[in-house]
Amino acid sequence: MHSLCLTIAGASPPRSGDEPARKLRDVSRAPRPLTKPDLFLMVTQPTITLAASASRTTLPPSVAELRCVIQQRLVAAIQRQVTVRAMVDLQLRNNVRVIGNGAATIMFAHGFGCDQTMWRLFAPAYSERYRVVLFDHVGGGRSDLTAYDRLKYDSLQGYADDVLELAKEFGRGPVFFVGHSVSAMIGMLADLKEPATFAGHVMVGPSPCYINDGDYIGGFTRKDIDGLLETLQENYLGWASNMAPAIMGAPQQPELGQELTNSFCRTDPEIAKQFARVTFLSDVRAELTRLKTQTLIIQCNDDLIAPISVGEYMHRQIPSSTLAIIENVGHCPHLSSPGPVAAAMDAFLEAGGH
């Protein structure tokens, strides 16, 4: 690395008999490379002083000002390097892809066992009007598997914290979060932690709780979920092959069921097992009334994972919500019925002036 030299000039001439002060000023005039300790001092200390014998002599104002300018520029350079490094780290961690340059941002988030390619029918079209941010949750798609922390991702909040980081780093202007299935709840938790982050939510097939509880109909009994998780634990690939087509639905489009099966099978089994447990045992019903951000709930009329009763319940609980029920068999309408989903999204965004 090239050394940085600093020449200090313009100091007043020494007074007669003031030999120690003269020597100090001579030293200050002499150019020399700045060492690492010098740079550290420039960053950490607001003023720089030189010592002679037992006294401390402050550098002349012109020198102090020059040092201050260098200090500020060095700090700014370090901050820029840290920012760039953080952006690169996040991009690699979540396999972030940004397309479009609109004034507002849409973040598309995939559900369990999937990746960002599940939004391929939406991203190109919306990138013509918005800045589109696509990403993979850690553990899914082409994310950095070495970033997977079993403790952090043992709750949905771990994923929500990632979403907040991505929104801050890659979002521009108003940011809208479009989450499929469990990602809708992840987006809500992110919003509740830092309410000013999102301008709106689009929840596609969301569920705050999958287990029936009194008057609440989540679609499954606790025994159902325990059996599902047990089967998944014992034979993940067999579970994926049987469950994926049922989750996809779309009987007239069997290729979509095969696509979801392949996506499930590409996911690391151990990570998938933990994410399934975190997803299907989650219960965030108590948080729904706290969400004040404008929210669109897109509910399919025939969904094995999230029945209509769930969408209606969420609509009653979320104060600023709109419920759009579309004709679709299955849990992934953004693949099997993209037209109605896009129409509901567009109406929601246009109503908000976006």
Q: Which positions are annotated as active-site residues?
A: 181, 303, 331
- Is 296 within 8 Å of 280 (Cβ atoms)? no
Counting runs of H as helices and runs of E as strands, what totals does the chain give? 13, 11
- Measuring CA to CA, how many Å separate 17 from each of 20, 26, 56? 9, 15, 19
- Is 199 within 8 Å of 293 (Cβ atoms)? yes
* Local structure of residue 65 (DSSP, 8 states): H
List the strands of the sheet with 105-109, edge to edge: 97-99, 131-134, 105-109, 175-180, 200-204, 295-302, 321-329
Residue 198: count other Cβ atoms within 10 Å of its Cβ.
25
- Is 176 within 8 Å of 149 (Cβ atoms)? no
Q: Which amino acid belongs to residue 167? A: A
Distance CA 238, CA 18 (A): 90
- Is 106 within 8 Å of 75 (Cβ atoms)? no
Distance CA 166, CA 186 (A): 13
Distance CA 180, CA 280 (A): 14
